[in-house]
Structure 1
Amino acid sequence: MNKLFKLFTLTLMASLILPAAVSAEKDNGIKSLVSLGDSIPYGYNLSENNNTPSRFSYPYLIGNDANLRVRDLAVPGWTTEELLHALKEDQEVRQTVNQADYITLSIGSNDLLQALQAAQAISGGEPGLFMPLLQAEIQKRNIFGNIADIILEVRTLTEAPIAVYNVYNPFQTDNPLHRVGSTILPIVNTGFDQLMLHYTNVVIADAFSAFGEEQAELVIPEDIHPTVKGQIKLAEIGLNAFNLD
């Protein structure tokens, strides 16, 4: 609980710091953390509006705890294909990644949600059809092929350590889809584990185990995004993955 309070307090303080302090940090040689991904590392729905990444998102919490300058490049709604395209074509993204000392990667949730929606629509809710269709939809989207290419593209720019977040169950325990998530996500997340066998200095941040069955506390009600406590939990496993805790 002390760790959680420390992270929350540091982030609250950081939100009051003037932007000019960021340039000063860079000049002082402070190391940087670059966050790649979707609405989860963006901190979606934690602020009054979603115009900019939330200072309560886990990249900023990690940065506050480990004294790292943070560049949160996450974009709500992005799929693995969209992030891969940005890494190949967006020069600002490439330059920022090139300067990173640490990188977090959280991507694939939107691909999986699209696969879930497609399987539901095609199966008409028939249980015997749903699971095979879901697996086929996941495969069709080439999620792990894209993630592998993302890591390879990052490696053309930097050798910085990468913490890859797997997928937590976003559905509340009283939602019928929670059981689907509990069934399919352990299988999906083995794909992340298998990817890591092929790379050095790339580690898993196990969001699935960290969230467990605590969605009531860690996931925003009637939403799929983490609460502030959920973001704190993601920050903790990121710090652990980088051996910064």
Structure 2
Amino acid sequence: MRSSRLLWSTVGLSGLLATFLFIFGFIAGAKNILFPPLSGLQAAPNQPAANENIFQGTKIQMVALGDSLSKGTGDDTGRGYVGDLREMIASTSGKPTYIIGNLAINGYTSSQLLHDLETNKGLVNTLGKADLITVTIGGNDLFHLGEDVVDASVINKRMPTALQNVKQILTEIRKMNQHAVILYVGLYNPFQDLPNSSQIALAIEKWNDSIFNTVSQNPHMVFIPTYDLFSFQFMQFLYSDHFHPNQEGYNRIAARILQVLEPELPKKGGVTQ
């Protein structure tokens, strides 16, 4: 009888100990899920903190890089989205806003821009002064406009190399300027009137998603979507070449960029929210 009570006491004690260990393990696990260690959430060395505002100076300086979209080809006023954006930022912030360099070149590919960034030491000085850097690149890699047919299979074949180039381009820009906001302006679809437009659309979506995944891993680096801006009545916003935006199209791109930047910009007569 005494041994039986001893046995049940031992079983009860073991059960109580198991229950305690289960509760302790559950609490520890929940803590790790709800309050993860900070080490994995900190900004990388030499990177701006995600909540650091960089438009605190007395002026805002812009640099544009890339291809004909940053150059403003198709806008009869010559401003393009870069010029329109400068005016919008100055009006919103009340600060003098300058384009200290529009270094975009018509027809440029990602390999050409990457080569410039790796070899042209003069770019370091210009890019290093910028508060805001905008980039359009990749369209000439993918769309092979010198050919008669825009083929989705060719776009997909060229995409991996171009994506790797763009990733390296963004890395090189960040090396030259560790505080600026870097904006990559996404691709739209100017080929909606072609028979294979749906296949082309999927390829462009794949490109934009890949670039978004790259930039979203870096503080103060932002992907600017433009695809939807040209989704309806797209010819209304294209130049006569049926590829580049016209004045209204560029203005829509600039307005989209301002929409993204506005929470970060100081307000006239006030402070940044």
Query: Which TM-score band (shorter chain)?
Result: 0.7 to 0.9
Cα distance in 1 for partners of 2:145, 2:194 equals 18
Aligned with 2:125 (options 95, 98, 108): 95
Matched with 1:72 is 102
Matched with 2:80 is 57
Larger Rg: 2
Cα distance, 1:91 vs structure 2: 2.8
Cα distance, 1:45 vs structure 2: 3.3
Unaligned segments of structure 2, at least 5 residues: 1-56, 91-96, 268-273
Q: How does 1:1-245 map to 2 (within 5 A)?
A: 29-47=58-76, 55-67=78-90, 68-70=97-99, 71-114=101-144, 117=147, 131-139=152-160, 142-158=161-177, 159-171=179-191, 173-243=192-262, 244=265
Partner AA of 2:85 in structure 1: I
Cα distance in 1 for partners of 2:107, 2:82 equals 18
Name the SS for the 1:217 alignment partner: helix
Name the SS for the 2:217 alignment partner: coil
Seen in structure 2, the aligned counterparts of structure 1 residues 90 and 149 have a Cα distance that, compared at 3 Å, is same
Q: Tell me the number of residue pairs that the alignment of Structure 1 and Structure 2 aligns.
A: 200
Q: Is this contact kept in 2: 1:116–1:134, CA < 8 A?
A: no
Cα distance in 2 for partners of 1:195, 1:143 equals 13
Q: Is this contact kept in 2: 1:88–1:94, CA < 8 A?
A: no
Cα distance, 1:188 vs structure 2: 1.7
Seen in structure 2, the aligned counterparts of structure 1 residues 229 and 177 have a Cα distance that, compared at 3 Å, is farther
Q: Which runs of 4+ in 1 moved over 6 A?
A: none
Q: Using the TM superposition, name which of 211-220 and 109-118 deviates more.
A: 109-118
Cα distance, 1:191 vs structure 2: 0.8
Cα distance in 2 for partners of 1:104, 1:182 equals 24
Q: Per-residue CA shift, 1:100-125, capped at 9, x if unaligned?
A: 0111111101001129959x59xxxx
Cα distance in 2 for partners of 1:131, 1:35 equals 29
Cα distance in 2 for partners of 1:162, 1:194 equals 15
Partner AA of 1:46 in structure 2: D
Q: Per-residue CA shift, 1:42-97, capped at 9, x if unaligned?
A: 111334xxxxxx64211111111112201211110100111111112223322111
Partner AA of 1:162 in structure 2: I
Unaligned segments of structure 1, at least 5 residues: 1-27, 48-53, 122-129
Q: TM-score, normalised by structure 2?
A: 0.66
Matched with 2:45 is none
Q: Per-residue CA shift, 1:186-244, capped at 9, x if unaligned?
A: 12211111112321111111011222233211111343100000000110111122224
CA RMSD of aligned residues (A): 2.5
**Percentage identity across aligned positions?**
23
Cα distance in 1 for partners of 2:122, 2:196 equals 38
Q: TM-score, normalised by structure 1?
A: 0.73
